[in-house]
Structure 1
């Protein structure tokens, strides 16, 4: 039987098909075996590295002689995200003879695997700084670690949200680095930790609170001047709006947000009001205390005149830190919803301003809202009434101090000249006046009591009021701290005002009572008809405090004596300068009292007068108070205590008596009149004054010293402001 060709080829084809299958099977087995062979190879490679690097004492000499540890914990490495990689995956450029070659170890290139992240990093401030040669610029390992990198969301990762601020602070709280690279926020770490964000995240554990990367980015961190940076001025609101969604919506509709939307750099953004890293809760007193200065960075002109109001002065003196804080800028203008007053939705629009004022002033009316919280008295165009009131009060101040300042100076010069030319006679006369046993009553006990009320209330008003006028000085802040804050000082000021009204009412009522009891002098003794001219006759009597022609003559004669052109005038019971002091109290109580009441009860008074009268009252009250304090502590103190013949103190207001020698020296006309009228003995007195004059003198010295200290502080405050 013969074989056909087909019979002979069939077995050959079968053999070829069987060989192909065998080859495929062998190849598949080899491919399947490859990973099994690679894993031991990688493990072997690690084990060979750990032969040396498992030694905890293994180190090398680093830059500048530093010691660099080379120990790698195999156990911790096994728990890292790179545990499955061989050492050479990262350290690919190590030489074969690495253990002994002495060459520098090549830098690890994370970008080999993390290509996209590396590309972003290269365009960041860290990457660009590194490329420009800033060796200390942060790289991958500075943030993520090296051999023990774990997933970002793992709690022990250095870039886990709860740990990130500490990781960033390794560089940003390093004084050497912040100084070297002139970093903008060298205290950023501590500032963030104390901020509302830092406390929410690190103390309360609120994982939704922002950490560094939420605002600055992750690998793409850029400088604020970079337009693509999330902290660029134009992007800050959007960045903050990622969390504060509603606030961003409100802000975008505000005048500030509208400016920003137009590309106007004047439009303030979140960090300008809340700061970048020191963000605190806006309900805190500390935030409110500094809020006016924050607004004043852009609105300096408004801040200047806000500070002239009680709101601004009390704010500067620390009242914002008390429970009943005064109004800050945002209390009236809004927070994120600041709008122009012409906008119907503005808190200051005609339809809303009353309710805005009622936040603090429950009984505010439309008239009350006419108060100008930023009024500038120097602006005649916009505030004509305030301008002219300011001019009048300033003129009164200048004229009064100029006239009586010159009068006091001339008197002092004349007294010193007389003392130098006859000091022995001067001293003998002074001793005789002080030691003369023959005494006469000058002030009744009730008058002395009223003067005590005048002194105590005036000093209390000055101590608690002048710090408001000179709020910018350290001594003003110290006085308010001593009293316990602006609220306490205000209460004491009101108490002093009540005492003022009491002594004024007592004096006026007793004067009117005396007039009523002696009303018979108005009747003609012959006809019994009322003669009004008798009132003028009584007013011209030497015992009256009403100025007369004789006072004008005494003023002229006294000034002639200052220049050595005539004898010293012989005064009666009251001198012309004492009458001025007396009448000044009436003017002062009226001007200071009425203006003070308007400011004390602004809501009540605004019911029947426009709110801008509160501004007028502030000008009058402030300037008249300065006039009163300055006059009392200089002119009055000189006339009463500083004169050489009176120094260091005239105690007549405490003792109520005057010696015969002093009467003959200063008030001879009074003495002669009493003798001529036969009334001298009715004024003669001799009682227990010697027993308690030491106490009275001590009280007087205390009042006197307080006044001098206040005078010095006022002068210092005024000169320091002029210097600036």
Structure 2
């Protein structure tokens, strides 16, 4: 019995042993099968032509064995991620990939709160493989990685430049990617190869990307300055102390943050003209009133015309540490202002500190003197233009009427000539025309710096600095001919004893006949009487003459103050510069407007003179025209037996041509400027 039991026991042990061996063999077989999984998968997926259908399209499912082996997952089995694949070969339909969270829990947790994850409720959105890749995932420091610093912009662009994705999710236009590439960050990254340059993930985050409006977003209003401070820590320190930074810290929407001034993706180098020329516009988005007053100064006008070195907001207020003027640390505090101005103007003195860089000439409370000077110049401008505007319109309609009625005689160009102007007058007038046109072309663009035509004029002339140089050259010419003319008068009076230049019909001094002629001229305009008989100088010619005598000292002296501010502010306060700016600008506008409209009409644009009266350039006119236009002078010369003294030969053909084209070019240039001013003033 005992032997029988032993036999049964041995059989059982043998059976158990066999089962164990079979069990171990089966486990070993499974282990072997798992170890062969990658080879099994690659036996198909290493085929370059292997595809599957996704949304009606054939998509490659080829896996590069070599690159997969080099990737961060190269030591893992395919089944580690594709855990649902049980059979070999498997179902050809798309297989589910196990969540990356099984290994990357922290990154997955961040991703689940991102805009990418929450957008999946509306359709496909960026997941792990979209950014990191599938089978060729490399460390981010590896240049082959899709999230390498030099490639991450391209990776993000795959979705953010896709028109279908942009339309579906309402993303910003794809242009921001191109802006980034051209920005200081993008150029640093792609042009200079600087790995420290900011890229997408530095600002937006890597896994927890959120909408900018989300308070937790790295680029939200609340967090953006801190995000930027990861690279620009020193700037954040200044910004936090500034008036802007204090508003930001308090959650006040009025306080600008980095992107308000530097933009988001189109960030430019601050030392280049492209950024500097936009500074005023950027500040003007919030500080509209201050920007408007700034543009009334030379700094503002020059900036509008493209002068990059002209002082702008940040030059005086600083870029990031701007403080209220009442703050003793402010760069524009009274105690610090001279030092601030000295950054550009080494000759600055204490007097000039009363100069107002944000003038308000119409604000009597700020400065009564500036207010009254401005109002006087404004009244003068309106009065002169109103008076001569009416005078010119009346004359124009009467000339047209006379031309239609054939009251204007047709005077031939041949025949006997008389001398109308001596060489001194001709030379002086040529200098006047040349310098006046030069001053107008180089100065008026500054006066209208906010217009497109003003910028075009300035650009054609070489910009602000070139225009300023030639403006001063023409100013010297103006002072030169003014001094020469005074010398001419004084010599005639005191050396030659010719008092007729001061008194009598040959004098430019107003007399009773001028007022009588004006009254009779108005009657003629209104068809109430004949045209008056005129003498050597008419009332409108005398007005032109005295306008020059008024204009040169007024424009000239105010211009000298602006040319040499450091000298004049030794004796006058800085506000004197504000007054000089008003006088110079308004008087220049008066002179240019008057000469290029009324003076041109008086001498060239009337039907009887059109298109060009060259008398002042040749110095000669026909005897017949002299009889018609200056009958009183003609009769007096005949009565005195002195007509022979002024008879002369006709101008040569060359003199006629040169005189015509010189005058005509000046006329056209003047009319272009006058038209531009007229359109700007009346139609904005």
Is the structural similarity TM-score above 0.5? yes
* One of 88, 91, 96 as aligned partner of 2:79: 88
1:128 is the counterpart of 2:145:
no
Change (3 A) 1:247 1:109: same
Which of 380, 398, 412 aligns to 1:414? It is 398
Greater Cα offset, 255-264 or 85-94: 85-94
Q: Is the 8 A contact 1:633 1:711 kept in 2?
A: yes
Aligned residue among 499, 518, 526 for 2:477: 499
How far 1:35 sits from its partner (Å)? 10
Q: Partners of 1:85 and 1:125 in 2: how far apart? A: 30
**Which of these residues, 429, 440, 448, is aligned with residue 470 of structure 1?**
448
Structure 1 residues 376, 180: CA separation in 2 closer, same or farther (over 3 Å shift)? farther
Q: Hey, what does 1:66 align to over in structure 2?
A: 57
Corresponding residue to 1:664 among 627, 641, 646: 627
**Structure 1 equivalent of residue 47 of structure 2:** 55
2:560 to 589, 592, 597: 597
* Partner in structure 1 of residue 161 of structure 2: 173
Are the counterparts in 1 of residues 81 and 97 from structure 2 also a CA contact under 8 Å?
Answer: no
Distance 2:100 2:463 in 1: 60
Task: Report deviation, 1:218.
Answer: 1.2
Q: 2:426 aligned with 1:448, yes or no?
A: yes
1:406, distance to aligned residue in structure 2 (A): 0.8
1:80 deviation in Å?
A: 1.8
Match of 1:677 in 2: 640
Alignment match, 2:277 = 289
Partner-residue secondary structure (3-state), 1:431: coil
**Residue of structure 1 aligned with 2:367, choices 367, 371, 383:** 383
Partner SS, residue 648 of structure 1: coil
> Which secondary structure state, in structure 1, belongs to the residue aligned with residue 410 of structure 2?
helix
| 1:563-608 per-position Cα deviation (integer Å, ceiling 9, x unaligned) | 1111211111000000000000011111111111111111211111
Equivalent in the alignment of 1:543 = 506
1:488 corresponds to: 466
* Residue aligning to 1:119: 109
- Alpha-carbon distance in 2 for matches of 1:687, 1:549: 34
Give, in angstroms, the shift of residue 42 of structure 1.
2.7
Counterpart-to-counterpart distance in 2, 1:108 and 1:719: 73
What residue in structure 1 maps to residue 667 of structure 2? 704
The aligned runs of 1:158-557 (5 Å cut-off) are 158-184=146-172, 186-320=174-308, 325-422=309-406, 426=408, 429-432=409-412, 434-435=413-414, 437-519=415-497, 539-557=502-520
Residue equivalent to 1:645: 608
* Structure 1 alignment gaps of length 5 or more: 1-18, 522-536
1:686 and 2:666 equivalent? no
Q: Given the superposition, is the C-alpha separation of residues 663 and 34 from structure 1 closer, same or farther in structure 2, using an over 3 Å criterion?
A: farther
1:102, distance to aligned residue in structure 2 (A): 5.7
Deviates further, 379-388 or 559-568? 379-388
| Secondary structure in structure 2 of the residue aligned to 1:430 | coil
Choose which of 68, 82, 86 in structure 2 pairs with 1:77: 68
Comparing 273-282 and 181-190, the one that deviates more: 181-190
Alignment counterpart, residue 539 of structure 2, candidates 563, 568, 576: 576
Secondary structure, counterpart of 1:351 in structure 2: helix
Q: Provide structure 2 residue ranges, at least 5 long, that are not aligned to the other structure.
A: 1-12
Cα contact 1:361–1:603 (8 A) shared by 2: no
8 Å contact from structure 1 (residues 375, 383) kept in 2: no
| RMSD over aligned Cα atoms | 2.4
Q: Quote the Cα distance in structure 1 between the aligned partners of 2:654 and 2:468.
A: 39
* CA displacement 1:17-59 (0-9 Å, x = unmatched): xx9xxx9xx99xx99x999877633332222222221211111
Contact 1:57–1:71 (CA under 8 A) maintained in structure 2: yes
TM-score (norm: length of structure 1): 0.88
In 1, distance between residues paired with 2:92 and 2:78? 19
Larger deviation: 273-282 or 590-599?
273-282
Shift of 1:392: 1.4
- Could you list the per-position Cα deviations for residues 244-277 of structure 1 after superposition, in whole angstroms to 9, with x for gaps in the alignment? 2222111111111111122212111122122222
- What secondary structure is seen at the aligned counterpart in 2 of 1:60? strand
| 1:440 counterpart SS class | strand
Contact 1:216 1:222 in 2 (8 A): yes
Cα separation, partners in 2 of 1:35 and 1:616, compared to 1, 3 Å = farther
For 2:534 and 2:411, locate their aligned partners in 1 and report how far apart those are by CA, in whole Å.
21
TM-score by length of 2: 0.93
Equivalent pair of 2:620/2:651 in contact (CA under 8 Å): no
Cα distance change on mapping 1:147 and 1:286 into 2, 3 Å = same
Deviates more, 1:671-680 or 1:566-575: 671-680
Q: How far apart, in 1, do the equivalents of 2:490 and 2:434 lie? A: 25
Aligned to 2:59, the other structure's residue is in SS state: strand
Q: Distance in 2 between matches of 1:462 and 1:295?
A: 31
- Which residue pairs with 1:563 in the alignment? 526
In the alignment, the residues of structure 2 paired with residue 35 and residue 202 of structure 1 have an alpha-carbon distance, to the nearest angstrom, of: 54
Q: Deviation of residue 670 (structure 1)?
A: 0.8
Task: Spell out, residue by residue over 1:295-351, the C-alpha distance to the aligned partner (whole angstroms, 9 max, x if none).
Answer: 11111111111111111111111111xxxx110111111121111111111111111
For residues 232 and 392 of structure 1, the distance between their equivalents in structure 2, rounded to whole angstroms, comes to 52
Which piece of structure 1 moves more, 680-689 or 343-352? 680-689
**1:252, 1:258 within 8 Å by CA — same for their partners in 2?**
yes
Contact 2:277 2:303 in 1 (8 A): yes
Shift of 1:151: 1.9
Q: 1:400 to 1:248 in 2, by over 3 A?
A: same
Contact 1:332 1:357 in 2 (8 A): yes
> 1:643: how far off?
1.0
Q: 1:520 to 1:284 in 2, by over 3 A?
A: closer
**Equivalence for 1:527:** none
Cα 1:66–1:383 change in 2 (3 A) is: farther
Q: CA separation of 1:675/1:386 partners in 2, compared to 1, >3 Å: closer, same or farther?
A: same
Relative to 1, partners in 2 of residues 1:213 and 1:291: Cα closer, same or farther, differing over 3 Å?
same
Question: Secondary structure in 1 aligned to 2:427?
Answer: helix
